[in-house]
Structures are given as C-alpha cells and as structure tokens.
Structure 1
Amino acid sequence: MDQNLSLYRVFYTVANTGNISKAAARLYISQPAISKSIRKLEENLEVSLFSRNSRGVQLTEEGELLYHYVQNAFYSLEKGETQIKKIHELGIGHIHIGVSTTLCKYVLLPYLKEFIETHPHIRISIECQSTNHTLQLLKENKVDLGLIGKPERLYHTHFDSLGEIEDIFVCTKSYMEHLSKRSDYSENPFQSATLMLLNKGNMTRQYIDDYLASCRMEADNLLEVSTMDLLIEFAKIGMGIACVIRQFVEKELAEGSLIEVPLPISINKREIGFALPENISQNKAVKEFIHFYRKSTSD
C-alpha cells in the first residue's frame, strides 16, 4: 500500500459522517486539511471518491468499492487493538513446557494447579517427552522451558533446581519372601528376580544402567516399561522388583503395599528442575511462570 494510512483514515471518517465539517470535528483537524487529504487520495488513485451536494458528500461508485475494503481493514485493526488490550489487561499468553510423563504427574501438576488459579487466561501446552528429547526441543526453541532431571552437561541452558530425587528399588513383601527362598540376594538382589526398568533412551534408565554396571549387578530377567506409573502398579501386584523414585511411592511405602529392597551400595540422589535457554527473550507469560516457581521454591 503506497498511500499514507492517515489519508485512508480521513476518507473512512468522511464516508461514515457524509460531511466534511463533521469529519473534521471527529478527527480534530481543520476542514481545509480534510479536503486536502481527500484531494490527495483522489489524485493518487486517479478517481473521484466523493460527489458533493447541498447536504454534504456522497460516495461515488469507485468510492463505494474502496470504502468496502477500507472498512474491513479498519475493522481488523480495531479488532487487533482490542485483542492487544485484552492480552495486557487479562494477562493472556501462552507457555510451552517440555516434561516427561513421570515428572509431569508428580512434580509439574502441583505447580500448574496453583499457577492456573492466579493466571487463568494463560494457555499452557505440554510436550510429554523424555528429558533427552526435551533438551533437544529447548535447543531448537520449540518449547519455552522444560522440567528435567539435571544432565551432566548443560549447553547454553540455564537450570533452576527444584531439589533432589532418590531412585530406589521396591517390591511387595511377599515377592521378597519368595525371592529369599530361591536365592541369596544379599550381594545381587536382582539375579533371580524380575527386574523392571523404564525403557532405554530414558535418562533415568541410563542413570540406573550406569549404577548397575558400576556395582556389577545383572538381572536374569528384565522387563522394560514405558512409564513409572506402570512400574509402580506392576510392583504392587507382585510382578517383580521395580526401580522407582522414592518421592513418588511414599504412600505405598508408608502403608506397606511396597517395601524398599536393600542395596549393597546406595544410589546417589539426582537433581530435578526447570531448564530454559540462555540469552533468549521470554514472553510475558513465560516470565510470569518463571517468577512463580522461583518464588514457590524460595518460600
């Protein structure tokens, strides 16, 4: 569009009022300035947009055609302005979070519940993926932040720790009793057991594989499962020994539906937290969420 938008604003106002003086009053400019703007627009378009009569002005056929498009344009602009005001007044925004299924259920959901109560107009999208995949999405700027287990190396990524988690092995009391009759599990509790772990590719699985290798402990029977929820449920029905996170089975341990399997060497705790790309400008909604969880963590 080569023409100045202000010329179209004058044209639109004159067409709506049908009168030069009324348009001048509405736009707070002089009548000669209105007439000059209309003449300039007509000269640029090489058409006559208005016909003059005793009562004011009336659109020509070409003016009617132009008015249709200008009306739609100004309606879109007004709609955009209204939406911008709503975003500012209501705090409308969008946050895209990457997180594993396990951390989403046990860690992220409590944060989201409280955050949504105070920010009901912010839309939140969840990308349930492994920590490794979430780190890749962060690198590609496809998510705003990720809830992850802290990896050994963080490349161009800031990490806000939420605390530590502890991996343990659990089973039912009856399963342990049956296992003790079959073998001596004091040195390798998994030798004759069905060991249930998360699928390969998961960061927790990689961490536990390294632990088992360092302790030279192997299992004769390995069952790989897609989610920690399934590991917990399979352990509760006596299918085997499952590697789970202590904080996520506290209820089962307290009520006795699961017991912790003693290990010859304890597993080091791991950190979990929110990761976000460094040197990337975050939108207002993301900044609100970052402020929220940092404040919650410090309280």
Structure 2
Amino acid sequence: MEQNLSLYHIFNTVAEAGNISHAAKELYISQPAISKAVTRLEQNLETKLFVRSSRGVTLTDSGKMLYEQTNAAFKHLKQAEDTIKKNKKLGTGSLKIGVSTTLCKYVLMPYLEKFIKLHPHVKISISCQSTYQTLNLIQNHKVDIGLVGESGRLENLVFAPIGMVEDGFVATHDYLKNLKKRHPEAASNPFEYANLMLLDQHNVSRRYIDEYIRGNELSTGQMLTGHILEVSSMDLLIEFAKIGLGIACVITDFVKKELKEGSLTTIPLSLPIQKREIGFTYLREYTANDALEAFISFCRKISTP
C-alpha cells in the first residue's frame, strides 16, 4: 500500500485532468514518468485503468471505481491537512490539569486566567484531587500536567517549581481567649487543649506537618493528645478556623487577608515550619501535545523572575 500511494496520487491527478501532459504539468514531472507510473499501477492491480487516445485518456470501468475511492481519500487527506493547519494557527487543542482544590483556587487560577487570554481556543479540563492522586493520574496518562506540592514521589516526572509556601497554625482571637479561660495552661501550649484541625492523613500537606511534628521535640505528645478534627479540604479548615471551631493547620499564604484584617491570628511556634516548594509536574517523556507544550512554555516564562 505504501509503495502504491504515490502511484494512486498520480492516477488521481491524471483522472481529474483527463490528459497525461496536463497532469505532468500539475505534478511537475515528465510525461514519460506519468505514463510509467500509470502502467506500473495497472500491472500491480492487473487491470486496465485508462483508455488512451489522441485527445487524452478515459477511465475504464475499473478506473472509474478506483477513482471514486482515491478521489474521496485525497479529499479527506486535504480536509485533515486544512484542519491541522487551522488548529495550529488558532492554537487549539486540549489540556488536562490535575490539582488539589486549594492549589487550584489560590495558585492555578491566576496562571489559567493569563494562559486563556493567550490561548483562548485550547479546551481545558481540571481534575481536582489530592497530590498523590494527581501523580497517579499523570503516570497513567489520565492528565497531562499537575500542580502539586513537592512530595518526593517524582519518578519519571519533571518538577518545575513556581514558588514556596509556608504552613502554620491559625485561630481566631476569641477562640484562643476562651480556650485560656477554660484551660489557663493553654497560654503556654494551646495545642494540648485545643480542637486541632488538620487535613486527612492522605494529604501531602498533612504528611509534611506530621513529619515536622515527629522530627522536632515540639511537645509532640501534647500537640497530638488534644481533639483532632480531620477534613479533606484546606478551604474547609480555613472556614472552620474563621468561625472559631479550633486551631487549624493551613498554608498561611492562603490566609494573608484574614491575618492582615485580624479575623485570624497565627500560633507562635518555637521551631518554625520550613517552607516547601510547589510546582507543575509532568511526565519526563510525555506524549506530544501542542497545548501542553504551550502551557509548559507559558509557565516557564511566567515563573521566571
């Protein structure tokens, strides 16, 4: 079939032109080369395709049947070429992004807003779940790229950091004041008596905090002896903290407004929690995708100081 493709192209051009000399001019090859190609195709198919005369060529019944198919095939190929060129010009395509709800709201949204203005024809889908689930989706080719916190599980993946985040414990002034009224000892260590609100143990942020607690002699036992409320969303942690439900461990970058206006306050720690990186990650050997290429290039540019 591959050997015959050029022959079919020549045949189709001759059939449309109705004349070998006209077809030769259109294809920029000699008339003898055209005649030789037609003869070869006829030999391959073991049938006569044209009746030759001084006025040109006429299709035989077999030639007519073959022309119906080649004409349709080359029209489809032309349409495909035109569509590809149009898509390339418009910058169309699809992009699947995996991200946690929190990072989507506070970090990804500004990136998407700017990217969409530059590439309005790209179809974008967002899959919101934990970092570990996002990494699995990338490995299984279910999403193209993910926005995650650095987790150490980046085999076969490229991690492109875009910034640092800092974890901390926050609560309302009223909650802390009432906690001290109930437990005067809470003035020196509120964690022992507070309702401590954390992300569930499947979350990367929670595991990072657990490692911090275990790795530092930060009254570890006392911090974990109070009542612990686990939730799956940092947004819920922030909202629970704002209504005075307890002390929440959150990414403090995401509550700057609340901290500035005083609706929340940070709980001082004797040993600060080290900042950690967040960034986009994708397969080191990913499937060619114009939209993904454009997004990676865009993220690199926007993340460059």
**TM-score by structure 1 length?**
0.86
* Bigger mean CA offset, 193-202 vs 21-30: 21-30
Q: Decide whether the 8 Å contact of 1:187 with 1:264 is kept in 2.
A: no
Structure 1 residue aligned with 2:173 = 173
- Residue 247 of structure 2 corresponds to which residue in structure 1? 241
Partner of 1:19: 19
Q: Specify the SS of the correspondent of 1:200.
A: coil
Q: Which runs of 5+ in 1 are unaligned?
A: none
Matched, 1:224 2:230: yes
The C-alpha deviation readout for 1:229-257, integer Å capped at 9, x for no partner, is 11112222222222111111111222222
In the alignment, residue 18 of structure 1 is paired with which amino acid?
G
Stretch moving more, 213-222 or 4-13: 213-222
- The separation in 2 between residues aligned to 1:291 and 1:198, in whole angstroms, is 33
One-letter identity of the residue aligned with 1:80: A
Local SS of the residue matching 1:162: strand
* SS of structure 1 residue aligned to 2:159: strand
- Which residues in structure 2 correspond to 1:100-249 (within 5 Å)? 100-140=100-140, 142-152=142-152, 154-183=154-183, 184-213=185-214, 214=216, 215=218, 216=220, 217-249=223-255
1:84-117 CA-partner distances (Å, limit 9, x unpaired): 3234433444444332221122111111211221
Question: Deviation at 1:208?
Answer: 1.8
Aligned to 1:297: 303
- Classify 1:52/1:156 alpha carbon distance in 2 versus 1 (closer, same or farther; 3 Å): closer
Identity, % of aligned positions: 55
Partners in 1 of 2:160 and 2:33 — Cα distance? 59
Gaps of 5+ in 2: none
Partner secondary structure for residue 292 of structure 1: helix
| CA distance in 2 between partners of 1:289 and 1:88 (Å) | 15
Number of equivalenced pairs? 299
The Cα RMSD (Å) is 2.8
TM-score normalised according to structure 2 size: 0.84
- Aligned residue number for residue 83 of structure 1: 83
Q: Is the 8 A contact 1:191 1:219 kept in 2?
A: yes
Q: Distance in 2 between matches of 1:244 and 1:111?
A: 22
Q: Is the 8 A contact 1:99 1:148 kept in 2?
A: yes
Deviations 1:154-180 (A, max 9, x none): 544443322221112222232222222
